[in-house]
A and B are shown apart, each in its own frame.
Chain A
Amino acid sequence: MSGSPNAILEVRDLHTQFSTLDGVVRAVDGVSFEVARGETLGIVGESGCGKSVTAMSILRLIPPETGRIASGSIRFEGEELTTLSEEQMKRLRGHRISMIFQEPMTSLNPVLTVGTQIAENVVRHLGVSWKAARERAFEMLDLVRIADARRRLDEYPHQLSGGMRQRVMIAMALSCDPQVLIADEPTTALDVTIQAQILDLMIELKEKTGTAIVLITHDLGVVAETTERVVVMYAGRKVEQATVDALFEEPLHPYTRGLMRAIPRLDVEADAAGTRPRLQEIPGLVPILTQPIVGCAFAPRCGFATERCRRERPPFVDAGAGHLVACWEIDSVRRVA
């Protein structure tokens, strides 16, 4: 199965595993998706579902002492990344694919000014002079709407607020015009009003630069407001994939449905008496990933599960217009509103 010509990044049947004292953790267990040029793809799921490990696998940042990409393929602009040397990957990271993380303070160097850090990336990848790179750093800080950018070039990370540090990370990530930006929980550590500013900035810059964004988050609100397509992950596997409108209009996988009903909604009116509606709980716990999962990973917590669900891993079915769902009982699920 070869990807569409429009895909810039194709992940096929990715398996990433970690060796621990308790056994082999199948953190990513056969995940496939592609990212089209200039699109925003959301990867959503709860802790331990493998969303961050998927991102780290794409950038080949899995620590070799404990983890490895066991099998599968990751193609970027047609080039296979899983077999590239570390030197070749270094030329790619921060240049054609870049990444921002939840906590910018841990990714910024505390003893270098932000101007130097951005310029360093530009010099390394684009081979321009320091003077030109510093000018580029200024342009980037200005682009991410840091006020008084010229002066901020000479400041250190600790002198900036959390929101500003995340802007600096975005400036650095975009400084070499990457084709893909991977953002792992970029606003989770930020306050609500600052989160809104950063999300708006990312969307605006994406439209300006044409960089595709892979946005990894646990927050369905962030997904709904910023992405175009969504992959839902559970226990290391993709369970559903759809356009953002289709996913929120009619979630099809029982897990996705469960998630959406478990969150308190800001946009749902309480009744006149102010009665608090009960949130729907998902019973049980996520499976332990050191044990092989037979059948559907969600079956033990699923109200629709049958004998077949516990025995055979469900294939993806196209429920219409590319809305993919891995569920044997999709017909029964659909009958229930």
Chain B
Amino acid sequence: MSDGPVLQVEGLVKHFPIHGGLLQRQVGAVRAVDGVSFSIRRGETLGLVGESGCGKSTIGKVVLKLIEPTAGRIVLGGEDVTALKPGAMWPHRRRIQTIFQDPYSSMNPRLASGTIVGEPLENFGIARGAERDERVAQLFRRVGLRPEAMRKYAHEFSGGQRQRLGIAKALSVNPDVIVADEPVSALDVSVQAQVLNLLIDLQEEYGLAYLFISHDLAVMRHISHRIAVMYLGRIVELTDKRTLFTQPLHPYTEALLSAATAPDPKRRRKRKKIVQGDVPSPARPPPGCHFHTRCLYATAECRMTVPPLIEVAPGHHVACLRRPVGGDPGPLSIPG
């Protein structure tokens, strides 16, 4: 099992019902996640990148079993946990932990930070009393906080320090996987660097796997090994980071990379085409390829047929009808 994926999801679907009318009957559904598959190995970071409403955060919540999937399978360390009820899920929760964008909102303001970080240790019956305190002190040191700070409350810490507390708490039960949802988005640049460096160090030290969710391509490129690009509930491209940034094949990936700003004034003069229009509503996604309404290269077929995610080159998966297996990886032509 040690070489197998620590987390695997297959055909994951999550629909949120929309209720309407006098009787509040279900009148539709937001297809937040619409058939997503991926796996993560030990010591690996898989990045999920995409714009608001693409379903990346919903995937995080579903794999944590904070919400139930509509369909699909979640396999954690070789065991299928999809159908487990909360009680049966409990022992598995140790293996998968989470870090939030705003750790402050998840911390009890009346508890000392040492108690907050040590809570999982008690909950899972790992350590109590003096032993627990010793473990918490070690965790504080490991994430770069002074053990004396255990007595302080969450509001007495800066944003970056609170994120360190959140990381210490997630780390306390020795998980295999950490779901990190926009963990540095709320932080200033200088603090963001500290937290990213810490996450990378911890990964190398403990062999942690990260499911790293972010809208920020530069952060993504820095921390991820492989990246899945999402658009309206589906993965449109999945490959190693180097290939994604040097040879993107999906028109949406190309659009994202072209739209991202870089701290280089010379780059603006060579900025390419920018995709126009807004992301359609996930409650009423366009038929066929979801991206066809904004895609420069869309053909009549793209408006009708859902493109499957296929492996066009080793490890490089793309969901685009115009990118066949072994096809020319060069630029696409704009149809007549």
Considering only CB atoms and an 8 Å cut-off, how many residues of chain B contact the other chain?
A: 44
- From A196, A197, A276, contact of B222 by CB (8 A): A276
Q: Chain B 218-230, CB within 8 Å of chain A: the 1/0 string?
A: 1101110100000
Whether, in the assembled complex, B200 has its beta carbon less than 8 Å from a beta carbon of chain A, the answer is yes
A276 near B223: Cβ-Cβ < 8 Å:
yes
Shortest beta-carbon distance from A83 to chain B in Å: 35
Q: How far is the CA of A200 from the CA of B259 in the complex (A)?
A: 10
- From A194, A220, A226, A263, contact of B193 by CB (8 A): A263
Interface centre among B200, B265, B276 (most CB of A within 10 A): B265
Q: Chain B 133-164, CB within 8 Å of chain A: the 1/0 string?
A: 00000000000000000000000001000000
A220 near B263: Cβ-Cβ < 8 Å:
yes
**Would you list which residues of chain A between 173 and 189 have a CB under 8 Å from chain B?**
none
B278 near A262: Cβ-Cβ < 8 Å:
no
B268 near A192: Cβ-Cβ < 8 Å:
no
Considering only CB atoms and an 8 Å cut-off, how many residues of chain A contact the other chain?
A: 44
Whether, in the assembled complex, B70 has its beta carbon less than 8 Å from a beta carbon of chain A, the answer is no
A195 near B259: Cβ-Cβ < 8 Å:
yes
A192 near B260: Cβ-Cβ < 8 Å:
yes
Chain A hits for B127, CB < 8 A: none
Chain B hits for A1, CB < 8 A: none
Chain B hits for A161, CB < 8 A: 278
Q: Chain B 256-298, CB within 8 Å of chain A: the 1/0 string?
A: 1111111111111001001110110000000000000000000
Shortest beta-carbon distance from B1 to chain A in Å: 26
Q: How far is the CA of A223 from the CA of B263 in the complex (A)?
A: 8
Whether, in the assembled complex, B310 has its beta carbon less than 8 Å from a beta carbon of chain A, the answer is no
- Which residue of chain A has its CB nearest to the CB of B224? A276
- Which residue of chain B has its CB nearest to the CB of A266? B218
Chain A hits for B266, CB < 8 A: 245
Whether, in the assembled complex, A244 has its beta carbon less than 8 Å from a beta carbon of chain B, the answer is yes
B193 near A280: Cβ-Cβ < 8 Å:
yes
Q: Which residues of A contact B (CB under 8 A)?
A: 46-47, 161, 163-164, 191-197, 199-200, 218-226, 244-245, 248, 258-260, 262-267, 270, 274, 276, 278-282, 285
What are 18 A-B contacts defined by CB distance under 8 Å?
Answer: A46-B189, A193-B255, A193-B259, A194-B51, A221-B261, A221-B262, A224-B267, A248-B263, A262-B189, A264-B196, A265-B218, A265-B263, A267-B267, A274-B240, A274-B241, A278-B200, A279-B222, A280-B193
Given contacts A248-B264, A263-B193, A264-B223, 11 further A-B contacts (CB under 8 A): A47-B188, A192-B259, A220-B189, A224-B263, A224-B265, A245-B265, A262-B193, A265-B218, A279-B197, A280-B193, A281-B193
Q: Which residues of B contact A (CB under 8 A)?
A: 51-52, 158, 188-190, 192-194, 196-197, 200, 215, 217-219, 221-223, 225, 240-242, 245, 255-268, 271, 274-276, 278-279
